[in-house]
Structure 1
Amino acid sequence: MRQRVCSKVGCAREAVSTLTYDYADQMAAVGPLGAAGDPHAHDLCAQHTERLSVPRGWVVVRHETLRT
């Protein structure tokens, strides 16, 4: 299986999360790496996941993986 890399230009680190946008609701959702590459989603490395910023007025929803 091929490793997925961060979607940010110039970044070659391994992706650990997936980012999607809902423009109508001015919301960005970040969660665990999606099962398959989605052309409407952006895979991010740990560094870019932590540094994520959105336009003023937008909400960021972070979905965490449950640990048992």
Structure 2
Amino acid sequence: MQDRLCSKVACAREAVSTLTYDYGDQMAAIGPLGAAGDRHAHDLCAIHTDRLSVPRGWVVVRHETISPR
């Protein structure tokens, strides 16, 4: 399996999440890595995932994975 890298310019860290936007609803969704090759999705490393910011008035939905007990 090939490592997926962060989509941010000049970042070579391994991607840990995928970001998608819905411009019509002014919403950004971030969650576990999605399918590779989706041109409407952006992979992010842990640092860029934590630092994510969106335009004023937008909503961010964070999908967390639940670990089994």
Shared fold, TM over 0.5:
yes
Amino acid at match of 2:13: R
Aligned residues: 68
Partner residue, 1:13: 13
Q: Secondary structure at the match of 2:48?
A: helix
Amino acid at match of 1:28: A
Give the CA deviation at 1:35: 3.3
Q: Which runs of 5+ in 2 are unaligned?
A: none
CA distance in 2, matches of 1:24, 1:65: 26
Give the CA deviation at 1:9: 0.3
Question: What RMSD, in angstroms, separates the aligned Cα atoms of the two structures?
Answer: 0.7
- TM-score w.r.t. structure 2 length? 0.95
Partner residue, 2:48: 48
- TM-score w.r.t. structure 1 length? 0.96
Moved over 2 A (4+): none
Amino acid at match of 2:6: C
- 1:1-68 correspondence runs (5 A): 1-68=1-68
Give the CA deviation at 1:66: 1.3
Amino acid at match of 1:19: L
Give the CA deviation at 1:43: 0.0
